[in-house]
Amino acid sequence: MSSLTAERLYGLLPAVYRLRDAEQGEPLRALMAAFAQQFAALEENIDQLYDDQFIETCAAWVAPYIGDLIGYRPLHGVTPKVASPRAEVANTIAYRRRKGTALMLEQLASDVTDWPAHAVEFFELLTVSQYMKHIRLHAPATANLHNLRATLLEGGAFGKFAHTPEMRRPESGAGRYNIPNIGIFLWRLLSLRLTALPLVADPGDATNRKFRVNPLGADLRLFRRPRTEDDISHLAEPINVPEPLSVRLMALAVKAAQASTVPAPNAVIDDDYGPGESLVLLRPGNPPVPVPVEQIRICDLRDILDAGGNVIAWNHQAAVPAGTIGVDPERGRVLLGAPADGPLLATFHYGSPRAIGGGEYERSPEEAGVPLQRTVANSAALQPELDAVAVGGRVLIEDSRTYAQTPVFKVNGVTTAGAPGLKVVVAARNPARPLIAATGNLTLAIGERGQLVLDGLVISGGALELPAAADDEPRELLLRDCTLVPGRQLNPDGSAVSPGLPSLVIGHPFAKVTLERCITGPIQLDREAEITLVDCIVDAGTPQNVAYAGNATGGPGGTLTARECTVIGKVHAKVIELVSNSILFAALGVAPGETWAAPVIAERRQEGCMRFSFVPNGSFTPRRYRCIPDAAHPQALPHFTSRRYGDPAYGQLRQVTDLSIRSGADDGGEMGVLHALFQPQRETNLRLRLDEYLRFGLHAGFFYAS
């Protein structure tokens, strides 16, 4: 605030002028107020000029000039969390002072890409004749196979065994162990949390001892919750990165924790088990009580099969005594020593390429314009609360429990002509991920001009179905951050029970449907309805199944708009209004009753556009602009790390995928649902910075650990 206020300036005038000014309506006071306003602007400008001397406080337009003074080179501005150069300009001097060191390169890679990183100096891991005046005890010529932990880590980012040299360059992503080589390992998968979920019993178990942590009842690879490094002089270790948990490595850590005597009550042991760690089992209570690590046995609980391939038991089933609990982090299985050792809850982490579908990650705020009227928790009945807000309102589900129900989502219609429609929101609390485990289709009873919003839910066991009605009034359905389990349910091994069955059925011709950041199975949409997909995965199980159509026999579905989506399966639409930055991974394979002539069909090809997308050869579509395959890339195909829902890398493109797909979007990003990660831009940014900060003569490459 300015020190020269209007009152202060006016008070400095002689009293005679103030008296005469009051007699004439105080025009002099108004003049002093105008002076004070200009003085305040001048003082603010002077203060800002001082702030502009420092990158931490300068105005946004000044940052490039400060960067120019120190030779800063800008990066791609679209990459999340590095869109502003302020932090990098601030760190440039510190980077240059530590130029070429492993600590600096590791920090640089993490700052530029926003991925966890680990730098490895491969020349330190070479098998060479030792110089007696400088013995390198950390690189013996022969591996110590008695060190089980080092043996299990070998071949990855944290391997410590010495190697003979190889001549390939690391820039190719292959060469590692040589004198000039540096490696940057990057972890792209997120480790997402699920909190205090009841264990799910194995369906074929008669002993009441076998359970899974996955609320869908399927095997699930558990991930580490990475621990933040609190010291800039510390190279990343396995505990600092979001890696999949290993049975053998976790067993070694848990045994070490059980055998150690911890002097301080709050001391932390890197065993990945316990409150605040990657995994913890809890006994129900208020609050739940953690199962102590002394009762945990890390086991390989894989299936034991008979000669016919049938599961007869779990491995080590007889080796877990009463009073202990066996845990398999590679499959998400829990084996009780005795039925009396249950029931249990589990808090754990799973892997995902990005935050999509239902999950306990940060989502957009629950509909701010709709009042909170009802809350549900602890698997209570949903239907009474849904009925109560059918006239407009919001139901908030407050936990991540399983709701084994088949509710009807209701929005009452409006009969008065011209009246606005009613709006109903059913949302998960932020953060929570409730599962609605239905036993059949869930009806969407949306009345005239009504709008239904589902936010943050996971739905299994049936499809969402909006039936046709006798009126011709519009309806709106919005799904945000939801998962309609592809295949409706999962088998214990993680495969879909009914691949190809629709997860969303829209029978009303005047419906308008929008899906944002959703995972869903196939969609059936009336040919007169409209649907918009944004950042979604539509998974029909195989490219030969139908992912989008108008009915069960493959008739044309309604008007389709898809942006940054991955669709696995055939598409048949009346109109494809727009497909942008997407992958339509479909193939021929005519099922009984279908008359398909192409993987992707638009009936009205004079309308709409397809741009910067993968569209299979032989498709009948509206005009295309820079789509793949084309004349320059006739054989380009997307190759996925995994196409099975529930796998950590579900929907992620492999590095062998042609660059025309991995960097073929309109902004140079990759096509498909992971476009928002801007992975090609992150790679380019890292290459630019490695060229700038490597010591002379060294070569660096980066390797994706996930």
Q: Is the pLDDT of residue 301 over 80?
A: yes
| pLDDT, the chain, mean | 87
Question: In the chain, what percentage of residues exceed pLDDT 70?
Answer: 94
3-class SS at 49? helix
* Lowest pLDDT segment from 50-64, 499-513, 648-662: 50-64
Say if residue 230's pLDDT is above 80: no
Backbone angles phi, psi at 296, to 5 degrees: -95, 135
Q: Binning pLDDT at 50, 70 and 90, where does residue 268 land?
A: very low
List, for residues 677-694, the tens digit of each pLDDT value.
999 988 888 888 888 888
Q: What is the predicted pLDDT for the residue at 666?
A: 92
Query: Is 672 a residue whose pLDDT tops 50?
Result: yes
Report residue 377 as tokens: 């928790």
Work out the average pLDDT over 530-543: 95
pLDDT tens digits for 160-171? 888 888 888 887
pLDDT of residue 123: 83
Question: Is the bond into 288 cis (omega within 30 degrees of 0)?
Answer: no
Strands (E), 439-550: 442-446, 451-455, 458-460, 464-466, 475-480, 483-484, 504-506, 511-516, 519-520, 523-525, 530-534, 537-539, 546-549
> Above 50 in pLDDT, residue 493?
yes
- State which amino acid sits at residue 408: V
**Band of the pLDDT at 265, cuts 50, 70, 90?**
very low
Tokens for 66? 């400060």
Residue 261 pLDDT = 56
Biggest distance spanned by C-alpha atoms of the chain: 112
Q: What pLDDT, on the 0 to 100 scale, is given for residue 263?
A: 46
What band does 592 get if pLDDT is binned at 50, 70 and 90? low
Average pLDDT over residues 499-525: 95
Note the pLDDT of residue 77.
62
- pLDDT recorded at residue 595: 54
The pLDDT assigned to 511 comes to 94
Instruction: Tell me: pLDDT of 505 over 60.
Output: yes
pLDDT at 43: 81
Average pLDDT rounded to a whole number, residues 94-101: 78
For the cut 80, the answer to whether the pLDDT of residue 372 exceeds it is no
Under the banding of pLDDT at 50, 70 and 90, the label for residue 267 is very low
Is 186's pLDDT higher than 90? yes
Whether the per-residue pLDDT at 484 is higher than 50: the answer is yes
Relative to beta strand 372-376, strand 393-397 is parallel
Residues contacting 313, CB < 8 A, separation 6+: 303, 304
Q: What is the pLDDT of residues 233-242, one digit of tens each?
A: 788 888 899 9
Average pLDDT over every residue of 128-156: 80
pLDDT range class, residue 403, cuts 50, 70, 90: very high
Are the C-beta atoms of residues 535 and 565 closer than 8 Å to each other? Answer: yes
Q: 691-702 pLDDT, tens per residue?
A: 888 888 888 888
Q: Which pLDDT belongs to residue 266?
A: 43
Count of helix runs (H) and strand runs (E) in the chain:
11, 41
- Confidence bin at 30 (pLDDT 50/70/90): confident
pLDDT category at 174 given cuts 50, 70, 90 is confident
Residue 561 has pLDDT above 80, yes or no: yes
Is pLDDT above 50 for 217? yes
Q: What is the pLDDT of residues 75-92, one digit of tens each?
A: 766 555 555 677 777 777
Q: Pseudo-torsion of CA 490, 494, 497, 501, nearest 10°?
A: 80
Candidate ranges 372-381, 479-488, 695-704; pick with highest mean pLDDT: 479-488
3-state secondary structure of 559: strand
Over residues 532-553, mean pLDDT = 93
Please determine, for residue 397, whether its predicted confidence score (pLDDT) is greater than 50: yes
Q: What are the start-end ranges of the H helices in 144-266? A: 148-153, 247-259
Mean pLDDT of 533-539: 96
Residue-wise pLDDT for 409-429, tens only, equals: 999 988 777 677 889 999 999
